[in-house]
Structure 1
Amino acid sequence: MTDMSRGAAYLNGEFMPLAEARIPVTHWGYRRSDVTYDVVGVRDGAFFRLEDHLRRFRASMTRLRMAPPESDDRIRAILHRVVALSGLRDAYVAMDCLRASPAPGAPRHPAYAPSYLMCYAVPWVWVASPEMIDRGMHLMIPKVRRIPPESFDPRVKNFHWGDLTEGQFEALDAGADFAVLLDGAGNVTEGPGFNVFCVIGGVVATPATGALDGITRASVMELCAELGLPLELRDIPAEEFRAADEIFGCTTAGGIMPAARIDGRRMNNDAPGPVSTALKDLFWKKRATGWHATPVDYAAAG
């Protein structure tokens, strides 16, 4: 049997080792970043909020007028099988929908370029390392601004990372771990691959617009309600964010990630704050008890 422990993939109707998955360089998924995607995590042999990720993925495909032949039920089965084929108990599981290219003689228009799926499972990936999470992330606000929602809807997960990539280089030059980008009005949006929250006077706040409607972000909202923490969805100006009592990020590949510094300012004696820590600890405690879990069907490998 083929060893897929380093990654198993499904590409345009076929299962294979991830190393064998290839897309043509002429396809618009590559040439134009004409792709939408989603990522669901597997920990201890179970997906977290699988149905939420599938709903968001389908909404993104619909928004971009992508219609691969696979139904949601088929996509769900494919995700189970790529994890089962890999044998991984902790996995980062991606689902991509890519635009191909028009057939010879067809108009050079996306309506004539069919879309297709690529799904894969690889060993668990952290956005911020566990060591970084324990000591608190070091964040900074770069000069580059986030692509405006009027240009592309940030609620559709996409590969348009030019602004986020530039922000990361600014963070590197500043000695920070990650950048958090502002919108054109100077309000906080998100980081590269994660939503952000801040805590001011015991009130938790997160941007209402300009960022992905994260699945882990929704989990944080549920945890705030469980802990009785006031929560606001609103614009957060840069100066208010910099002056916050606490800041944390959240993402599928990392859970809740407290920050210790923002633009060189040290919070909570250069350590994660109490609210961020309480949310992080509760998140992983509930995950360990099967919260929003869907066990992987490992028999699907057969």
Structure 2
Amino acid sequence: MTLQREYGSEGFGFMDGEYLPMSEMRIPVTDLGFQLSDMCYDALHIYEGQYFRMDDHLDRFEGAVESRRYETLGINRQGFRDILMGCASRSGLRNAMVTIIATRGVPNSGHKDLRSCQNRLMVWAVPYYSVVTEEENKNGCDIIIADTLRIPPEAVDPEIKNYGRLDFVRSLFEAYERDARYAVLLDSDGNVT
């Protein structure tokens, strides 16, 4: 019997000002990033020990942080770069997927005043993975066009990468019910999103 490793078991991260194994990272259940999906992220690739287009990813991430009004992170561009490089070097991975996330944080009372939160930064590096498997790349895979529509951009800005993805979850179950593995979502005008 072959044991499958748990996702993240080989990763290394940064959270609350310190580097630690990804398996030890935790987000408080009172963080509004968890409760409200009030977070943004970006995902970077490391190939043969080098980040791919780090500055482009940081441009997008910093724009999302500003748009979401995460004003208490207190980290500048060089700080983000240093943390990304620190996670990469501590992981020892030459080919990795690195995720950088900012969350709203924990409010100072149960009233959930967004302005009272201390924003949180989390970064982690794990062995590189692809959305589709090598076998699927070689032989193809089953994919459907879902009946579920993508959340409209008037509700959630699609340029800010976020984890509020119940539309994706619903579409994946549509795919499973139709003996497929993946789903494509359309917008209300029938365009692929």
TM over 0.5: yes
Q: Report how many aligned residue pairs link the two structures.
A: 185
How far apart, in 1, do the equivalents of 2:34 and 2:104 lie? Answer: 9
1:18 equivalenced with 2:22 (yes/no): yes
Q: 5+ unaligned residues in a row in structure 2: which ranges?
A: 1-7
Q: Equivalent of 1:161, from 162, 165, 168?
A: 165
Instruction: Judge conservation of contact 1:5–1:86 (CA < 8 Å) in 2.
Output: no
Larger Rg: 1
Deviation of the 1:108 alpha carbon: 2.6
Q: After superposition, what is the alpha-carbon deviation per residue over 1:98-119, rounded to whole angstroms, capped at 9, x for unaligned? A: 11122148x5321221212000
How far apart, in 2, do the equivalents of 1:31 and 1:184 lie? Answer: 28
TM-score normalised by length of structure 1: 0.59
Q: After superposition, what is the alpha-carbon deviation per residue over 1:132-168, rounded to whole angstroms, capped at 9, x for unaligned? A: 1122233211111000001010110001110011111
Structure 1 stretches of at least 4 aligned residues deviating more than 4 Å after TM superposition: none
How far apart, in 1, do the equivalents of 2:107 and 2:29 lie? Answer: 13
How far apart, in 1, do the equivalents of 2:42 and 2:178 lie? Answer: 30
The corresponding residue for 1:212 is none
Letter paired with 1:162: L
Identity of aligned residues (%): 37
Letter paired with 1:19: S
How far apart, in 1, do the equivalents of 2:129 and 2:32 lie? Answer: 27
The corresponding residue for 1:33 is 37
Q: After superposition, what is the alpha-carbon deviation per residue over 1:77-128, rounded to whole angstroms, capped at 9, x for unaligned? A: 11111010010111110000011122148x5321221212000101112111
The corresponding residue for 2:181 is 177
How far apart, in 1, do the equivalents of 2:112 and 2:165 lie? Answer: 24
Q: Equivalent of 1:134, from 135, 138, 159?
A: 138
The corresponding residue for 1:94 is 99
Q: Equivalent of 2:152, from 148, 153, 156?
A: 148
The corresponding residue for 1:221 is none
How far apart, in 2, do the equivalents of 1:48 and 1:188 lie? Answer: 26
Evaluate the alpha carbon distance shift between residue 78 and residue 108 of structure 1 in structure 2; reply closer, same or farther with a 3 A threshold: same
Deviation of the 1:17 alpha carbon: 0.9
TM-score normalised by length of structure 2: 0.91
1:1-302 matches, cutoff 5 A: 6-67=10-71, 68-104=73-109, 108-189=112-193
Instruction: Judge conservation of contact 2:32–2:107 (CA < 8 Å) in 1.
Output: no
Deviation of the 1:44 alpha carbon: 1.1
Q: State the superposition RMSD in angstroms.
A: 1.6
Q: 5+ unaligned residues in a row in structure 1: which ranges?
A: 190-302
Instruction: Judge conservation of contact 2:9–2:22 (CA < 8 Å) in 1.
Output: no
Q: Whose relative contact order is higher, 1 or 2, with alpha carbons under 8 Å and at least 6 apart? A: 2
